[in-house]
Amino acid sequence: MEYRSLGRSDLRISTIGFGCMSLGTDEAAATKLIHRALGAGVNYFDTADLYDKGLNESMMGRILRGKREEVVLATKVGNQWRPDGSGWDWNPRKEYIIKAVEESLSRLQTDRIDLYQLHGGTMEDPIDETIEAFELLRQQGKIRYYGISSIRPAVIREYSRRSRIISVMLQYSLLDRRAEEHCLDELREQGIGVLARGSVAKGLLAGKPVSAYAGGRERGAVYLDHSIAEVEGAARVVAELSGSNRSAAQTALQYVLYNSAITSAVVGLRTVVQLEDAVGALEAPWLTAIENQALRGAVRVNYYDKHL
């Protein structure tokens, strides 16, 4: 396993991170998978109070009992479940964040969160108040560092400028290169780490049939603004460049990690096979510059058209 420093912090995290949202509620299976990941060198685990209404955090707390010092534990805040459980509302207010962190700490069975992330964000938020909450939690020792999970360039830019975030989690893959235009170079220059999610584009770059994902749609966009033909074309080039050297998922992950702004590809893992495939991306022959360029030329670049 390879480890990289997350932004300007002293957190050293595995370049393959574990996205916990996909774990489900089978705790025995999740325990086996998490322990297998630890054995493979994965040390970054990313959950959120939103997932399964807090049950994901609770399960992770039980699974990591006795192994807390081995991991970099991240969670998120900002989406407040309604009392009747019918959905959630966005709440970036200081009062709520201060309350929510106590609940996350309790569920995770820990005295501090290594990385506490704002789970979204808009330009209409009371940004200074939100930052004040995170800074207070740092001073109190309840969190070590904080970051933001967002795909909105304007919001990312404001937090990069006005706060001491060490990381940004955003969506990035061969089929979603929007961050290349507005975020990645700036974040690299500012020393802010990038956690990439969605690296295999919901499996579309790892062999999942596009027709199944499209749900009967034959025209129009099926993944962001990409058509079925464009997605199939990208997947075909990924498969061709993989050959016997790498799996398609490994090639997709290597494409993401090839960008020097990316600290870790955080992968939603459900099975041991998926885990071994993802971790194996670091052991497989690395993409050459020519292969990387071939991938970049395989699909039209997409761009942000909102929240700039």
Mean pLDDT of 23-39: 95
| Structure-token pair, residue 161 | 């400028």
What pLDDT score does 216 carry?
Answer: 54
What pLDDT score does 171 carry?
Answer: 95
CB 194 within 8 A of CB 261: yes
DSSP string for residues in 173-204: BTTB-HHHHHTHHHHHHHT-EEEEE-TTGGGT
Known catalytic membership, residue 51:
yes
What pLDDT score does 244 carry?
Answer: 86
pLDDT classification of 302: cutoffs 50, 70, 90:
confident
Q: How far apart, in Å, are the Cα atoms of 13 and each of 103, 239, 265?
A: 25, 29, 10
Mean pLDDT of 47-74: 95
**For the segment 124-162, what is each residue's pLDDT rounded down to a tens digit?**
999 999 999 999 999 999 999 999 999 999 999 999 999
Is pLDDT larger for residue 58 or for residue 225?
Answer: 58
Mean pLDDT of 75-91: 89
pLDDT classification of 83: cutoffs 50, 70, 90:
confident
Q: How far apart, in Å, are the Cα atoms of 234 and each of 69, 246, 251, 261, 289?
A: 41, 16, 12, 22, 17
**For the segment 220-272, what is each residue's pLDDT rounded down to a tens digit?**
678 888 988 899 999 999 999 998 889 999 999 999 999 999 999 999 999 99
What pLDDT score does 168 carry?
Answer: 98
pLDDT at 56 over 60: yes
Question: 3-201+248-285: what CATH class?
Answer: alpha beta
What pLDDT score does 40 carry?
Answer: 97
Burial class (CB in 10 A: 0-12, 13-18, 19+), 255: buried
Helices 153-162 and 127-139, axial angle in degrees (round to 10): 50
> Of these residues, 3, 44, 51, 145, which one is catalytic?
51
Tell me the whole-structure pTM to 2 decimals.
0.94
pLDDT classification of 301: cutoffs 50, 70, 90:
confident
Spell out the domain ranges in the chain.
3-201+248-285
Full 3-state SS string of 142-173? CEEEEEEECCCHHHHHHHHHHCCCCEEEEECE
| Structure-token pair, residue 136 | 């207070």
**For the segment 104-118, what is each residue's pLDDT rounded down to a tens digit?**
999 999 999 999 999
pLDDT at 74 over 60: yes
